[in-house]
C-alpha cells in the first residue's frame, strides 16, 4: 500500500471515530457549557422584583461587583464589602494551600519511604476522611475548636489556660477547617511524585557536600514539582469556592466568595449579581490554573529525569 493510500485510510478512520463519538461529545459539551452559558446570560440582565431576572440587557451586575451606588446622591464608590470578601477568599485559599503543603510534604515523604507493604496501610489512613461527608468533618472540627470544645477543655484541665481560646467564627477557624478538609488532596499527589523519586540522588548530593537544605531545594523539590503543582491545584480550586466550611466555622460573619454567591441567589434575590460573581470566580480559577501550569512547565526537566 502506498503512503498516499495509507494517509487516506488513516484520515477516513479518524473521521469515522469522530463521527461515532460526536453524540457523546455533544452531550458532554451541552452538559458542561449549557449551565455556564445560562449563568453568563443572567449576569447581563436586571434582577427581578422578587427574585429571578428581567430580560433587559445591562452591565449593572458586573459593575456592582466592584462599585456601589450611594442611595442618597447616586454617586459611585468602591464596594468595600465585596472587595473584602474577595481578598479574604484568595488569602485563605492561598494560606490553606501553603499549610497543606507544609503538613502534606513531610507526611507524603514519610509514607513514600516506608516499606512497600506498609505504604498501603498509611495511604488507607489518609483516605479515611473521605469516607464521611464534608459537613460531618466540618462539624467534627467545630467540636474540637469551639469555646467548650475538646481543645479548650483539655488545656483548661491541664492548667495551661485560664479561659477558653476564642477561635470559632474567625478566619483562623475557617483556615483550620479547610486545612484539615483538603490535606489529603495535597498528600496523595505528593506521594505519587515522591514514590517515583530515585533516592540515589540524595546520596549523590551528600557526596558532593551539599547540606540537607541544599539537597531539598536543588534536588528534591525540582523533581517532585509536578506533584506540588497538582496538589496545589486540587487544594486551591475547591478552597476558593468553599461554602460549607466557612458557613459552619465562620458563623456567617466571615464570608467567602461561595457564601456570598449563595446569599445573592437566596436572601439577596439578586440573581444577576450572583451570576456575575460566579463567572468572576470561574475566571479567577482559570487564571490560577494557568499560573500553576506555567509554573509547572517552566524549567521542567526533559527526558526521563
83 falls within a domain? no
Range of the domain at 203: 99-297
CA–CA gap between residue 176 and residue 173 (Å, rounded): 5
Ordered alpha helix ranges (H), 216-255: 221-223, 225-240, 244-249
pLDDT band at 1 (very low <50, low <70, confident <90, very high): low
Give pLDDT, residue 305: 43
The answer to whether 212 and 74 are in contact (CB under 8 A) is no
256 falls within a domain? yes
Q: Can you give the pTM of this predicted structure?
A: 0.83
Percent pLDDT > 70 in the chain is 95
The conformation of residue 131, written as its DSSP 8-state character, comes to G
pLDDT band at 76 (very low <50, low <70, confident <90, very high): confident
CA–CA gap between residue 256 and residue 239 (Å, rounded): 10
Give pLDDT, residue 155: 92
Give pLDDT, residue 81: 87
Which tens digits make up the pLDDT trace of 143-157? 999 989 999 999 999
Q: Helix, strand, or coil here: 298? A: coil
For residue 1, give the C-alpha cell.
500500500
44 falls within a domain? no
Which tens digits make up the pLDDT trace of 23-35? 888 888 888 788 8
160 falls within a domain? yes
172 falls within a domain? yes
* Residues in CB range of 151: below 8 A, 6 or more apart: 144, 145, 165
74 falls within a domain? no
User: Within 13 Å of residue 137, how many CA atoms lie on the same side as its CB?
Assistant: 21
Give pLDDT, residue 298: 65
Give pLDDT, residue 48: 87
Which tens digits make up the pLDDT trace of 81-106? 888 999 999 999 999 999 999 999 99
Give pLDDT, residue 302: 47
Q: How many CB atoms are located within 10 Å of the residue 184 CB?
A: 21
Q: How many CB atoms are located within 10 Å of the residue 47 CB?
A: 23
Percent pLDDT > 90 in the chain is 40
Q: How many CB atoms are located within 10 Å of the residue 301 CB?
A: 9
150 falls within a domain? yes
Average pLDDT, integer, range 200-206: 84
The answer to whether 66 and 56 are in contact (CB under 8 A) is no
The CATH number given to whatever domain includes residue 147 is 1.10.3720.10
Which tens digits make up the pLDDT trace of 157-191? 998 888 999 999 999 999 999 999 999 999 999 99
Nearest by Cα to 191 from 101, 291, 96: 101
Which tens digits make up the pLDDT trace of 33-51? 888 899 999 999 999 888 7
Average pLDDT, integer, range 105-114: 92
Average pLDDT, integer, range 207-222: 85
Q: Strand 53-54 relative to strand 76-78: parallel, antiparallel, unpaired?
A: unpaired
The answer to whether 149 and 143 are in contact (CB under 8 A) is yes
The whole-chain average pLDDT of the chain stands at 87
Give pLDDT, residue 245: 92
pLDDT at 2 over 70: no
The conformation of residue 216, written as its DSSP 8-state character, comes to I
283 falls within a domain? yes
What is the number of domains present in the chain?
A: 1
The conformation of residue 51, written as its DSSP 8-state character, comes to S
pLDDT at 287 over 90: no
pLDDT band at 252 (very low <50, low <70, confident <90, very high): confident
pLDDT band at 271 (very low <50, low <70, confident <90, very high): very high
pLDDT at 278 over 50: yes
Amino acid at each position: 500500500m502506498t503512503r498516499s493510500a495509507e494517509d487516506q485510510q488513516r484520515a477516513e478512520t479518524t473521521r469515522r471515530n469522530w463521527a461515532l463519538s460526536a453524540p457523546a461529545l455533544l452531550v458532554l459539551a451541552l452538559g458542561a457549557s449549557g449551565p455556564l452559558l445560562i449563568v453568563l446570560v443572567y449576569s447581563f440582565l436586571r434582577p427581578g422584583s422578587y427574585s429571578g431576572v428581567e430580560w433587559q440587557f445591562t452591565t449593572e451586575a458586573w459593575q456592582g461587583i466592584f462599585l456601589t451606588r450611594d442611595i442618597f446622591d447616586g454617586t459611585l464608590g468602591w464596594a468595600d464589602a465585596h472587595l473584602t470578601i474577595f481578598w479574604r477568599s484568595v488569602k485563605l485559599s492561598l494560606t490553606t494551600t501553603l499549610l497543606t503543603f507544609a503538613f502534606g510534604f513531610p507526611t507524603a515523604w514519610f509514607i513514600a519511604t516506608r516499606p512497600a507493604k506498609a505504604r498501603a496501610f498509611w495511604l488507607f489512613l489518609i483516605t479515611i476522611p473521605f469516607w464521611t461527608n464534608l459537613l460531618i468533618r466540618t462539624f467534627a472540627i467545630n467540636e474540637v475548636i469551639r469555646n467548650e470544645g475538646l481543645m479548650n477543655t483539655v488545656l483548661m484541665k491541664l492548667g495551661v489556660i485560664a479561659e477558653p481560646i476564642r477561635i470559632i467564627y474567625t478566619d483562623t477557624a475557617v483556615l483550620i477547617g479547610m486545612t484539615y478538609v483538603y490535606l489529603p488532596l495535597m498528600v496523595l499527589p505528593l506521594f505519587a511524585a515522591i514514590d517515583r523519586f530515585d533516592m540515589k540522588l540524595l546520596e549523590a548530593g551528600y557526596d558532593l557536600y551539599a547540606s540537607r537544605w541544599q539537597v531539598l531545594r536543588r534536588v528534591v523539590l525540582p523533581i517532585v514539582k509536578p506533584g506540588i503543582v497538582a496538589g496545589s491545584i486540587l487544594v486551591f480550586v475547591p478552597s476558593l469556592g468553599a461554602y460549607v466550611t466557612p458557613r459552619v466555622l465562620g458563623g456567617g460573619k466571615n464570608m467567602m466568595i461561595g457564601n456570598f454567591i449563595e446569599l445573592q441567589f437566596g436572601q439577596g434575590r439578586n440573581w444577576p449579581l450572583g451570576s456575575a460573581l460566579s463567572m468572576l470566580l470561574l475566571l479567577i480559577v482559570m487564571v490560577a490554573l494557568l499560573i500553576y501550569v506555567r509554573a509547572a512547565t517552566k524549567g521542567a526537566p526533559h527526558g526521563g529525569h
